[in-house]
């Protein structure tokens, strides 16, 4: 998959995670959270044996990973 695909999925996943978690970030932060979330979500999906492909599957996996990332960052930030 191309880098453009990962940028678009990252932005969408970061934005969705931001909306679900009630946060307010900018475009670049959404991209970073979404791309890191895609790595985390991919790891989780592979560990559980899920194989989702395409735009929708990749966006769902990346969003789940981004939500996990924002949740963990929220725990660390509270301390």
Report if pTM > 0.75.
yes
d(CA 59, CA 30): 13
Four-residue CA torsion sign, 10, 11, 12, 15: positive
Torsion sign over Cα 64, 75, 35, 48: negative
Integer Cα distance of 8 and 55 in angstroms:
10
User: What would the pLDDT profile of 48-78 be if each residue is shown by its tens digit?
Assistant: 988 777 889 889 999 999 999 999 998 998 7
In tens, the pLDDT along 5-61 reads: 888 888 899 999 999 998 888 888 888 999 999 899 989 998 998 877 788 988 999
């Amino acid at each position: 998959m191309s880098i453009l695909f990962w940028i678009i999925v990252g932005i969408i996943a970061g934005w969705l995670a931001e909306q679900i978690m009630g946060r307010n970030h900018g475009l670049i932060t959404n991209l970073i959270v979404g791309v890191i979330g895609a790595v985390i979500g991919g790891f989780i999906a592979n560990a559980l044996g899920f194989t989702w492909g395409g735009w929708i599957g990749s966006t769902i996996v990346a969003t789940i990973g981004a939500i996990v990332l924002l949740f963990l960052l929220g725990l660390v930030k509270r301390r």
